[in-house]
Structure 1
Amino acid sequence: MMSKKTPTIKGISWNFIIVATVRKHKGISNFLTRISMLLNVVGGSAKRRDMIRDINHEQVRKALGCGQLETGTGLNQEQCLQRPGDTRWSSHYKTFKSLVSMFPTVVQVLKVVEKDDKDWRNRDQASNLLVYFQSFDFVFYLHLMLTTLAATNTLSLSLQRKDQDIVNAIGCVRSTRHHLISLRRDEWGKLLDEVNEFCAMHDIGTLQMEDTYIDPQQPRKKSGITNKHHYEVDCFNEVIDWLVQELDSRFNETSSELLVCSAAFNPRDSFADFDVDNLMRLAELYPDDFSFDDLRELRHQLCLYIADVREDGRFSNLNTIGELSQKMVQSKKHHRYTFVYWLLKLVLVLPIATATVERCFHAMKIVKTCLANRMGDEHLSNRLICYVEKEILKKVTNEAVVRRFMNMEGKDRKYDI
């Protein structure tokens, strides 16, 4: 059993972290709340969803007729507004990208709801959303979120992979951090140009950045700052600073050292990154798993191990640490190099707080309902595996299931296939 003091990389659920972090900003929190309201109003019924599809189809047809869009395979696909979820990776990014391309359609649907819906609550919500969605604040926060999520999307996608290669994780974290800092330093002007271009395209009023900022909540109170200061310093810079701080906090020096030392297990290019000293430093971070005598034995095993696997052709085309561990078991080398294999297993456990874990917790809410709250642990585990590993389960044929059911020990079952 792994030690309770085993080091881990905390907080790798990066998409969730981004949303939680930016929600500290009042303007962005209000923006995300309005997005949720929009999805409830616009996508609240099959009729409105059909309306979105029909209006968007008509607008695409007109754009194609005017030559504003090109035709071709994969172009102009049918679009919809996806409801974002904090534990569904990159869902916010997809929602905001869809909103940019479908903005005229969304406004038109809101106008229809405001005018014709029988429920006064929906009419009032649609009216309030129309005012907000045609304001400079909405356009700015939409493009700010798109910019920050685009900058971190590669890291989010990397960390959500089930076969995550932690060797490259530290490089992705560092490059994302550098990109965010570069974004803060150089990209304000580009973001503002995109906001103004969107406003001009959809007849939304813009603001002069040198004018005095007016707080919508307190319009009579003098803010003492310009629009430029508010949107650049208090919004743009502040949000990016928070994200950089979160990266530094969750991938601190210890976490980075774990990843750097783990890179020595990289099997690519005939184990070119192998480094005994780094692996020994990694083992020293697990005092409950390796005693002083174990560390001395580990050093000798590492020297024997690397000479062995480099000469063994079965290890010549490996790319990930996961593949290395599987090949060690298949070749029975995990019995020969017990301490090396134990350290390898500890490395594989490092990225435990990944999207797979979040999916399991999300699946548990669906599988273990109030009507099934007396389900045993084994039964629950089996059902969760079926729910989480859907892609693998699709490969299992009905005939294989029936055959296994028929061949269960102690059972005499008959079935005509």
Structure 2
Amino acid sequence: MVELVVQKYGGTSLQTTGRMAEAADRIIKETKRGSQVIVVVSAMGRTTDDLTTLAGQVSSCPPAREMDLLLSTGEQVSCALMAMALKAGGVEAEALTGPQAGIITDFSYGDAVIKEVDPEPVRSRLKEGKVVIVSGFQGCPGGHEVATLGRGGSDTTAAVLAGALKADRCEIFTDVDGVYTADPGTITGARKYEQLDYESLSALAELGASVVHPRAAAAAEAWQIPLVVRSSLTEQTGTTILPGTWSSCSFPVIGVTSETGLSSFSLHEGADRREIGREWKNGLCPWKAVQHVKNRLYRIVVRNEEAPHTKSLLSRFGGRPDTGRALVHVIFRSKEGKQKAGSFMRDLPYTQDCFMVETQPHVWSMDVPERHRVNICQALHDRCMEKEAAPISAAH
């Protein structure tokens, strides 16, 4: 039976024409195994950042619609070049923009959500024996418009296409060789998972592990598509994401992640916890974390871009901003993991300017100075993961 495989290549995997040629060779090898292949591409290297800088040189506040029109060209360049490289290698290929591939989004320019996919444009070309190259990160909200999906949107494009076309697997090629218990670039002893379940991947992705976009993890789970995260620079097998449940795996702690670019607000003791809580639940302020001291709301963590609005909202409660903050998370899956992680966090030596905060279930989080973030992550990883074997395999 012919396998249908979706492969997504990120910006670092396509950083130069040499890297693109290596990716094309990998795609050609997959076709020689008899597979049908859909390829989703990101913009080359830092193209998106360069285009953003370019827009800033002509406008202090670029319109969202025109910004999306500009940024979508980065993926289209990659898409066209990849099709050319494959044809030069003797493989029939056709390049499609997101809208041409049948990807339909809402009108939220800059952070659009995929509403549906018309599989026919891609399916018809697969039937013609072609490799279909799709520009990631973009879709059509209506008419002849283009909307982008936000940072990491090419991952989402790949996962949603894989689901809509009932692919046998979706491979995310990046610059790391799988999903780790912590950032392998900064944390000594971070260990790679051989297998992981969707829910664990989603938790890691939502809380700072940048290897896969959270929407892509959610889409893969919704469609129950096997997801493989691997490096485009090596032949290692990577991490396979398969169906499972939190309780089906033996290890109590999943990993340690962190988020930067945050500000914190301390409130005086008279702050009305219920009133501010209502604002939070109504979505008027997308706060990252809240800490309660007895019945009083004490500390709120927000992204830097939300700090001015939050400061205005909290001014009557005595809220004052504290910049240069980060959140460190320990993600656990069991009561044992919760007890272990909580105990280790409380025993950290960096306690003077650190605050344990509430973010979401199955997570202990700490609001810390950004300058201490890596050291705190390292200390927590050393303690929480010290009894786990490497590489970790989540057997189901």
Q: State the TM bucket, normalised to the shorter chain.
A: under 0.3
Which one has a larger percent helix, Structure 1 or Structure 2? 1
Which one has a larger percent strand, Structure 1 or Structure 2? 2
Q: What TM-score comes out, normalization by structure 1 length? A: 0.27
Larger radius of gyration: 1
